[in-house]
Amino acid sequence: MQQTRLTGKDVAEHDNKESCWVIIHGKAYDVTEFLPEHPGGAGVILKHAGKDATEAFEPIHPPDTLDKYLDRSKHLGGVDMSTVIAEEKSFDPDEESRQQRIALMPPLGKCFNLHDFESVARQVMRRGAWAYYSSGADDEITLRENHSAYHKIWFRPRILVDVEQVDSSTSMLGSKCEVPFYVTATALGKLGHLEGEVVLTRAASRHGVIQMIPTLGSCSFDEIVDAKRGDQVQWLQLYVNQDREITKRIVQHAEKRGCKGLFVTVDAPQLGRREKDIRTRFEGAASDVQKNNPGAIDRSQGAARAISTFIDPSLSWKDIPYFKSITKMPIVLKGVQRVEDVLTAIEHGIPAVVLSNHGGRQLDTAPSAIEILADVMPELRRRGLQDKIEVYVDGGVRRATDIIKALCLGAKGVGIGRPFLYAMSAYGEPGVVHAMQLLKDEFEVAMRLIGARSVGELGPEFVDVRGLSMHSVPTPADFLSSDVYDRLVVPAFAVKSKL
Amino acid sequence: MQQTRLTGKDVAEHDNKESCWVIIHGKAYDVTEFLPEHPGGAGVILKHAGKDATEAFEPIHPPDTLDKYLDRSKHLGGVDMSTVIAEEKSFDPDEESRQQRIALMPPLGKCFNLHDFESVARQVMRRGAWAYYSSGADDEITLRENHSAYHKIWFRPRILVDVEQVDSSTSMLGSKCEVPFYVTATALGKLGHLEGEVVLTRAASRHGVIQMIPTLGSCSFDEIVDAKRGDQVQWLQLYVNQDREITKRIVQHAEKRGCKGLFVTVDAPQLGRREKDIRTRFEGAASDVQKNNPGAIDRSQGAARAISTFIDPSLSWKDIPYFKSITKMPIVLKGVQRVEDVLTAIEHGIPAVVLSNHGGRQLDTAPSAIEILADVMPELRRRGLQDKIEVYVDGGVRRATDIIKALCLGAKGVGIGRPFLYAMSAYGEPGVVHAMQLLKDEFEVAMRLIGARSVGELGPEFVDVRGLSMHSVPTPADFLSSDVYDRLVVPAFAVKSKL
Amino acid sequence: MQQTRLTGKDVAEHDNKESCWVIIHGKAYDVTEFLPEHPGGAGVILKHAGKDATEAFEPIHPPDTLDKYLDRSKHLGGVDMSTVIAEEKSFDPDEESRQQRIALMPPLGKCFNLHDFESVARQVMRRGAWAYYSSGADDEITLRENHSAYHKIWFRPRILVDVEQVDSSTSMLGSKCEVPFYVTATALGKLGHLEGEVVLTRAASRHGVIQMIPTLGSCSFDEIVDAKRGDQVQWLQLYVNQDREITKRIVQHAEKRGCKGLFVTVDAPQLGRREKDIRTRFEGAASDVQKNNPGAIDRSQGAARAISTFIDPSLSWKDIPYFKSITKMPIVLKGVQRVEDVLTAIEHGIPAVVLSNHGGRQLDTAPSAIEILADVMPELRRRGLQDKIEVYVDGGVRRATDIIKALCLGAKGVGIGRPFLYAMSAYGEPGVVHAMQLLKDEFEVAMRLIGARSVGELGPEFVDVRGLSMHSVPTPADFLSSDVYDRLVVPAFAVKSKL
Amino acid sequence: MQQTRLTGKDVAEHDNKESCWVIIHGKAYDVTEFLPEHPGGAGVILKHAGKDATEAFEPIHPPDTLDKYLDRSKHLGGVDMSTVIAEEKSFDPDEESRQQRIALMPPLGKCFNLHDFESVARQVMRRGAWAYYSSGADDEITLRENHSAYHKIWFRPRILVDVEQVDSSTSMLGSKCEVPFYVTATALGKLGHLEGEVVLTRAASRHGVIQMIPTLGSCSFDEIVDAKRGDQVQWLQLYVNQDREITKRIVQHAEKRGCKGLFVTVDAPQLGRREKDIRTRFEGAASDVQKNNPGAIDRSQGAARAISTFIDPSLSWKDIPYFKSITKMPIVLKGVQRVEDVLTAIEHGIPAVVLSNHGGRQLDTAPSAIEILADVMPELRRRGLQDKIEVYVDGGVRRATDIIKALCLGAKGVGIGRPFLYAMSAYGEPGVVHAMQLLKDEFEVAMRLIGARSVGELGPEFVDVRGLSMHSVPTPADFLSSDVYDRLVVPAFAVKSKL
């Protein structure tokens, strides 16, 4: 049916709480009734009431959002965009200097390790996007512990082994892959790159790397699956919805589209407090907020809270049979954090777990996955259960040596999230491809240097973990004594005469 | 009896050691004979001899001080304040810039955790007030250890528990409360806020939090009790006076006014040396002091010393029966610091103890309460005494995760002092209310994330304390070697051409 | 046969991939066919195609390179250098300021310890040379751990021993030497000093120190041997070539020339990734490289990779008999890193091993040699094998106390590499002589102070190694809490009046 | 016999190596023959040849030096000082700014702890004097460990003890003293204060503190003894001279003058390398020294080396009977560093030892005395020898809590050196008196707070030493990862408008 196109003026009249229309991708929507339900709060929509909201909508909503969540009767049809008055962008000095940094950013070839991507991304990403990706819970102690825990593990390299050929391939959940790491699920890919998660899909395809598709992607699930090539393997990460029918629909659709594993997130009955994210969000909104009335900003607590209100906090072990009843995909628990729960998982016939603290984004001073792994595997071996379950870890991995340490301690594979997001945000697909290549190169070198030819040869005898479980916090500094200390110095160069 | 009002001139004639009058809240007092007894020294009074001393008197003396300590015959009656020559305030650049900072201070809504209040308070409080609140003993190592000790404890979260409902309520000394923390006693509330401790009372009432009333409050005991609402619970903190009759009067009055617990401070036979407080005090007074004659300033050793000279250093276990004889309130020892003394307390029929080092203000390198707790509870359990006594801790608590760690290790409740003072000093009652709300929010999130639904479910299996008792002091740095080390760098951005 | 000299113009015509000539030390060479084989990549040669390449060639190729690797038919004979157009050097501000620093450098006498040489060298060396010498693998954690591990070992000095006479002499592999340290093999000496490794030879001779000759020296093996004086002892370090005939030729030639030991490097089946070196190399070449095409720079990965492509990664224990068959020199394994491999070495009849991680240049988070030593020797003693093998260590030695600690733990001798390179690069032969003298002086003082008169008296009872195997990584900082902490201060000096 | 006074001109003619006269305190001396014997080298004398050398001579030579070491025939008699041309002092910008700092130095009353004196002294002392006092061996790791080791010990305070009366008195070597610390021997007091060691004597007298008289004082032994008052107790510290007759004369003279103990230094068969001292010395002399000829400055190695060449490195256990034969004073070994040597001392009938590493000035990475003490005392108790010997410690003591920790662990007394030198250098006798008073005040407070009334009550149950023997050296920092981390921030204040 041919409809008369709406004009900008038509829409502009609905610019308030009583009647709120917005334009997204050239179409108008009546969101008046939806306002109180919006997970991100009504306020953020009302800012765009009567106007084109595409730019704000895009990065944090998959394209099928409106179809899924807004009744068709509220889809008001196309707008003649030539009649919409373009909002004059106010000059934004932060954005200005960001654009300057982008113009001067180092060429991709100067990134020699995963940290390098992070350093570039921090400079070239939008502040809110950076805050969302990089933030962790509370004091971000766990966030940082995740990587530094790897420095407590030292190698015991083996010499005089013929390492001419090194094979990095392995299998996970029965699927072969070129390398023992996978792209773990991360949300809101379009915050970092216009195209979102499909960039990761394409790069993973280039390197034979498995990708885990997030529930909270910016791209729709189908877009991400459509982007895969050949027999590329994908898994589904699942936040369990309070409405089990929605969950069932998502899971069965994923299975139909070929997903090879279902990773149920179990460390997020509620999303954690990420103050960097909250603060950034709030700083931007500061002028709107009534001074000294914190209640007024309750629903603006960062991107994380906005997108996650549907998650079911009542999820428990008794739900496991339900998941088994709706899918044949292997069901993997993502976010296990103690050995007792690994044992319970085995009792429930779970074929795999991911030891994870959700990238340090949930509970601060939760231990690193690598430390939990070093507790779990000896206990499994003691009970003869080491082959009953595949154990994965994620969080803090930045070097191939980190991966090898996890494999030595018994991990089947290692998930990597943020580093690939940073590579994507800074350099797009070539960035992710290069990042994966660097890891592969590092992996091959490190395998040769510890004297191992294949993933199968790795074992606990290659690592020294004596210091791993020590959580050392230095005694507070004696500033008076250290301040009066006169440091030794190196020889001084002569001062150049000013003549 | 109608008196003729005194004039400013009348008072001004008594401006010396031989005859010293001062005006406080519009009334004149003859303090000549009191001079040698003044705990803060005669000098500080003589500065105001013959003048209006209200501003200096106010924050560090409860309003009933003059009634209690100065004979009625020395109360000279009202002064016609219009005849008192207002002292011209000299320009104070520090105060000037403090006022500027106050004008620019962040809105309350930007405080996302307890540290944030401290950061704001430090900027907007008077220097002397900040020094009094924030200072600790000697090198302040214990002061800082109190918080950092919590970072040596790591969680062992449990997954797949239905945590839809989380209940933070508990009971302490038989009284119900909404949360497992209480407002512990702190002195001199008016240094931070004009209204003093009643601000805390009102905020505590809003959140169902128990308040411990300090002996050394700026408000009188009765003012603080009068400020409570409904069945709000209050306790009394007691510094035991050398004059037991005064002590008896205080205790029995508190019981009559409804206090539900008597917390006898046992870690302060003498108040500690707090050099930050002393130095601040002394800097202000520097011009008065004879150069290189330190003896001349003996009595100016900070606010802490000035207000505490009455405390009885001879208090001992043999006084316990006396306390039992004068009150039916449960007698709690505040400041226990070793397991042996908890056992002795049980022998004396003490129903509760507070493990505490007095906020790091007494003995430097005394251990944190949380570390003592981790020693005490296993010993009590070993002896089957864990239910014979309630154990509380205070000191260094800044996060709900800190509270949960203490509860897991067996604490019945957790005292919080300075953070609420800072919230009050920066933002008044709304600040304290917001601070408590933040703790409640953090508590709920953290309980969900460790997989516990109520305080009763918490136990030692949720925490890893292997590193807690390690007091690690790094070997002094090898500066030559670290100074010559050439640090790795991240990729450089191009330098923008100056053209 | 008398040849007509070539002119600059003749050579200049061969300036491309199809026909590539270069001039080195006044002679022309046709390297067209050699281009694809050049370990450093064709690109670096093509930069000099048709021109005089001497300056670039010199520091990284021994003088006999062209004779060895380029067929005589490609040696085109002398060039009339007066006809060669000197390349106009572009102004290099980095080089300019380096020259200024050289002019102002501290006199040698101001170097009081080995760190001092490093601090000077860093300032006066060319950036690429410094990067090559100073770089380590990945995050350079092992590089730095090598020295800091010595700080985990503390002395247990003995008093009231007559230490008037202290004897620092010892023997290694049967050769006497004045001191228990030797000059270990390091590559590319001409990067630091025009004359290269012979500078070390001469300095070693002055102090009775053994020198290990590197496979990858800038001087030819024969030049280094020719530089020795009297009965000076030299050893040969060997990277095993994939072509065993080349290896055999090198080994047998070394034996013929009097080398007293063959140190087979076993920790480098592939050279490690040294990002500082790679980054420096790449920064220099940045303008040439196609932006965002990292593949284009694959072969420019630092000096280390360029010179090492011939090393055989298939070297294994089964090659040991071969080495025994081609030489009578004692065969020493350099780069052993775990006790199991020391035991295997004994089984293979190996008379000595060097515990080493290759100066932290190979595998990051490989442990320090001194820590491995503390594991190895007790195990050897437990098995009664302590006299079956000589154990050497290298890496991180900067102080005579470091040497003594190693000897106490059972090392026969200690290798020192970089410190002598730095002394040479900054001050030439007098620098190296002075560095060795400083070590000798430190050694004598330290021996007296621990109460030992000779190397033979040293033993494990002189050291406390309880902390050595602890790899402590502090829990990540709680920045909010430490940032709000108000540090104690020392007394302030009065501010000088501006009048 | 009346002599004709010499003139400046007479002396000025002897200004070279062949004939070298100098004027000291108005008298001329012919030191030509003494030049080669001068412990500080001939060069330093020749600088003053033919001139008045008093200023340079004074601080590092006791006044009886010339009488003792220069034959009477070389004493040339008085000089008419009016005829001596005063050397024009060249303008010294360092001295200029030092004088400015002295003018602005904080009043003594602002020093609240021992660190404060050090901070002031560092600013107001001559650079060379500061370097001599403050320097330690090599990297000064032991120097700093000495104090920081005390931070590894934590208290276990006792509550509810009647601490109204606290008694700090004790006895050492049978002499009563008011406090459990003593002034240990330190050299060259006139570098810090014109009057030298007698300043310490007088201050010690004021507080009932025992003083140990140094062999290398700037004042003569007799001057220091003459300065004592009443029954003030003094001990003698002895560097044993290679010439035992000199040693015998010194010891017997000390006994005759009333010294109550003989402390034989056993940790200095050779004085340590103190690079800060050496560097400072050398910087001053830089212009004289031939560039790159380090041999030329061999004898200028800091003040320490210059004054100590006579010390006997052959001193051993077999010399003990000799000391017993020449004196009845108790013979104490100063500088014991391992438990085995304490046992040997008991076997030799030694009544006391000082555990000490010579203030970190001898052997770097020697352990702190407090750590050795914690090893020694349990072993003595295990053998029932704890009452056979008095054990003292020194090094790093800055707080009364440090002293109490040492006493708890079994020390009979604690030596304090540098802090009193700094107090003296900055403020003279009042400074030292004040420093001692601060320690006494701290001591009383800390005793009350741990719940102890007298030195005799202290014991190991008051301290937790679990971390004391851990020498923790953090794993080298991962700079890339920490550099890219984006720190959390506290709320920002608004930026003040510039209008």
C-alpha closest to that of B214 among B263, B180, B169, B256: B263
Top residue of C274, C368, C442, C480 to mutate, by most chain B CBs within 10 Å, is: C480
Residue D115, Cα to own-chain centre: how many angstroms?
Answer: 16
C-alpha closest to that of D470 among C373, B474, B375: B474
Q: What is the percentage of chain B residues whose pLDDT exceeds 90?
A: 71
Q: Do B276 and C486 touch (CB under 8 A)?
A: yes
- Residue-wise DSSP of B386-451: TTSSEEEEESS--SHHHHHHHHHTT-SEEEE-HHHHHHHHHHHHHHHHHHHHHHHHHHHHHHHHHT
Q: Do D315 and C162 touch (CB under 8 A)?
A: yes
Contact B140/B276 with Cβ under 8 angstroms?
Answer: yes
Question: pLDDT category, C63, cuts 50, 70, 90?
Answer: confident
Q: Which of B164, B448, B491 sits opposite A119 (nearest CB)?
A: B491
For domain C116-284+302-464, say whether CATH 1.10.10.60 is its number.
no
Position C167 scores a pLDDT of 97
Strands of the sheet containing B27-30, edge to edge, are B21-24, B27-30, B75-78
User: With 70 as the cut, is the pLDDT of residue D491 above it?
Assistant: yes
Query: Is A358 noted as a catalytic residue in this protein?
Result: yes
Q: How far apart are CA C50 and CA C55, in angstroms?
A: 14
Q: Do B151 and C478 touch (CB under 8 A)?
A: yes
Position A43 scores a pLDDT of 79
Position C286 scores a pLDDT of 37
Question: pLDDT category, D302, cuts 50, 70, 90?
Answer: low
C-alpha closest to that of C119 among C109, C128, C130: C130
Position D496 scores a pLDDT of 67
Instruction: State the catalytic residue, choosing from A48, A147, A358, A434.
Output: A358
Instruction: From chain D, pick out residues whose CB is under 8 angstroms from the CB of B294.
Output: 108-109, 111, 434, 437
Residue-wise pLDDT tens digits, D84-98: 887 777 788 889 999
Distance from CA of D167 to the nearest CA of B (A): 14
Residue-wise pLDDT tens digits, B333-384: 999 999 999 999 999 999 999 999 999 999 999 999 999 999 999 999 999 9
The architecture that CATH gives domain B116-285+301-464 is Alpha-Beta Barrel (3.20)
Q: How far apart are CA B94 and CA C348, in angstroms?
A: 78
Q: Do B148 and C478 touch (CB under 8 A)?
A: yes
Average pLDDT, integer, range D379-408:
98
Contact B241/B311 with Cβ under 8 angstroms?
Answer: yes
Give the alpha-carbon dihedral of A174, A179, A181, A184, to 10 degrees: -70
**Pairing of the two strands A352-355 and A390-394:** parallel
Helix, strand, coil percentages in chain A from 3-state DSSP, rounded to 5: 45, 15, 40
- Helix residue ranges, H only, C104-243: 114-124, 127-134, 141-148, 198-207, 221-226
- Partner chains of B (3+ C-beta pairs under 8 Å): A, C, D
Contact C410/D241 with Cβ under 8 angstroms?
Answer: no
Q: Taking CA atoms, what residue in D is nearest to A478?
A: D148
Position B337 scores a pLDDT of 98
* Pairs of CB atoms within 8 A across B/C: 66
Look over chain A and give the mean of its residue pLDDT values, rounded to a whole number: 90
Give B321 or C41, the one with higher predicted confidence. B321
Q: How far apart are CA C359 and CA D132, in angstroms?
A: 36
Q: How far apart are CA A65 and CA D490, in angstroms?
A: 36
Look over chain D and give the mean of its residue pLDDT values, rounded to a whole number: 90
Position D63 scores a pLDDT of 79
User: With 90 as the cut, is the pLDDT of residue C452 above it?
Assistant: yes
Please count the helices (runs of H) and the strands (runs of E) in chain C: 19, 16
Q: What's the token pair of residue D44?
A: 């330093």
Average pLDDT, integer, range A389-412:
98
Question: pLDDT category, B279, cuts 50, 70, 90?
Answer: confident
Give B329 or C286, the one with higher predicted confidence. B329
How far apart, in Å, are the Cα atoms of A16 and each of A19, A42, A81, B44, B239? 5, 11, 21, 63, 61
Position D195 scores a pLDDT of 95
Q: What is the percentage of chain A residues whose pLDDT exceeds 70?
A: 93
Q: How far apart are CA B411 and CA B392, in angstroms?
A: 5
Position A21 scores a pLDDT of 94
Average pLDDT, integer, range A372-381:
98
Q: Please tell me the least confidently modeled range out of B210-224, B291-305, C125-139.
A: B291-305
Position A306 scores a pLDDT of 57
Q: What's the token pair of residue B365?
A: 């390198």
- Residues forming a β-bridge with C232: none
| Phi, psi of B476, rounded to the nearest 5 degrees | -50, 145
User: With 90 as the cut, is the pLDDT of residue C39 above it?
Assistant: no
Position A3 scores a pLDDT of 58
Give D491 or A400, the one with higher predicted confidence. A400
Q: Would you say the CATH fold of D116-283+305-464 matches that of D8-83?
A: no
Average pLDDT, integer, range C43-60:
85
Helix (H, G, I), strand (E, B) or coil at B263: strand
Question: pLDDT category, B283, cuts 50, 70, 90?
Answer: low
User: With 50 as the cut, is the pLDDT of residue A289 above it?
Assistant: no
Q: Which of A158, A467, A473 sits opposite C338 (nearest CB)?
A: A158
For chain A, the domains span: 8-83, 116-274+311-464
Give B290 or C480, the one with higher predicted confidence. C480
- Helix residue ranges, H only, C186-298: 198-207, 221-226, 244-256, 275-285
Question: pLDDT category, A59, cuts 50, 70, 90?
Answer: confident
Position C300 scores a pLDDT of 41
The continuous run of DSSP H or E covering A154 comes out as strand A154-155
Type of residue at C467: G
How far apart, in Å, are the Cα atoms of A469 and each of A149, A356, A370? 9, 16, 10
Residue-wise pLDDT tens digits, C270-318: 888 899 888 887 655 433 333 444 443 343 445 555 566 678 999 999 9
Contact B443/B414 with Cβ under 8 angstroms?
Answer: no
Residue-wise pLDDT tens digits, D215-231: 999 999 999 999 999 99
User: With 90 as the cut, is the pLDDT of residue A225 above it?
Assistant: yes
Residue-wise pLDDT tens digits, B20-42: 999 998 999 999 988 877 766 78
Instruction: Write out the CATH class of domain A116-274+311-464.
Output: alpha beta
Q: What's the token pair of residue D91?
A: 């303008």
Please list, in sequence order, all residues whose beta carbon lies within 8 angstroms of the beta carbon of residue C54, skipping any fewer than 6 positions away.
C23, C24, C25
Question: pLDDT category, A300, cuts 50, 70, 90?
Answer: very low
**Burial of C386 by CB count in 10 Å (0-12 exposed, 13-18 middle, 19+ buried)?**
middle
Instruction: State the catalytic residue, choosing from A267, A341, A394, A402.
Output: A267
Q: What is the percentage of chain A residues whose pLDDT exceeds 90?
A: 71
How far apart, in Å, are the Cα atoms of D419 and each of C272, C415, D119, D403, D426? 50, 41, 10, 14, 11
User: With 70 as the cut, is the pLDDT of residue C23 above it?
Assistant: yes
Average pLDDT, integer, range C127-150:
95
User: With 90 as the cut, is the pLDDT of residue C265 above it?
Assistant: yes
Contact C355/C392 with Cβ under 8 angstroms?
Answer: yes
Using the 8-state DSSP alphabet, how is residue D395 labeled?
Answer: S
Position D290 scores a pLDDT of 35
Q: Which of C104, C362, C474 sits opposite A493 (nearest CB)?
A: C104
User: With 80 as the cut, is the pLDDT of residue B294 above it?
Assistant: no
CATH superfamily to which B8-83 belongs: Cytochrome b5-like heme/steroid binding domain (3.10.120.10)
ipTM associated with this complex: 0.90
Q: Please tell me the least confidently modeled range out of C114-118, C392-396, C493-497, D450-454.
A: C493-497
Contact B329/B261 with Cβ under 8 angstroms?
Answer: yes
Query: Is A67 noted as a catalytic residue in this protein?
Result: no
Q: Do C481 and B275 touch (CB under 8 A)?
A: no
Q: What is the CA radius of gyration of chain C?
A: 25
Distance from CA of A128 to the nearest CA of D (A): 13
**Angle, helices D418-450/D400-408, rounded to nearest 10 degrees:** 70
Q: How far apart are CA B213 and CA B230, in angstroms?
A: 17
- CATH number assigned to the domain with residue range D116-283+305-464, chosen from the 4 options 3.20.20.70, 2.40.10.220, 3.20.20.30, 3.30.530.20: 3.20.20.70
Question: pLDDT category, B7, cuts 50, 70, 90?
Answer: very high
- Tell me the residue ranges of DSSP E strands in B297-406: 331-336, 352-355, 390-394
Count CB neighbours of B165 within 10 A. 10
Question: pLDDT category, C240, cuts 50, 70, 90?
Answer: very high
Residue-wise pLDDT tens digits, B410-434: 999 999 999 999 999 999 999 999 9
Distance from CA of D485 to the nearest CA of A (A): 8
Residue-wise pLDDT tens digits, A349-358: 999 999 999 9
Question: pLDDT category, B261, cuts 50, 70, 90?
Answer: very high
Q: Do C108 and D266 touch (CB under 8 A)?
A: no
Residue-wise pLDDT tens digits, D48-65: 899 998 888 887 788 788
Q: How far apart are CA D111 and CA D109, in angstroms?
A: 5
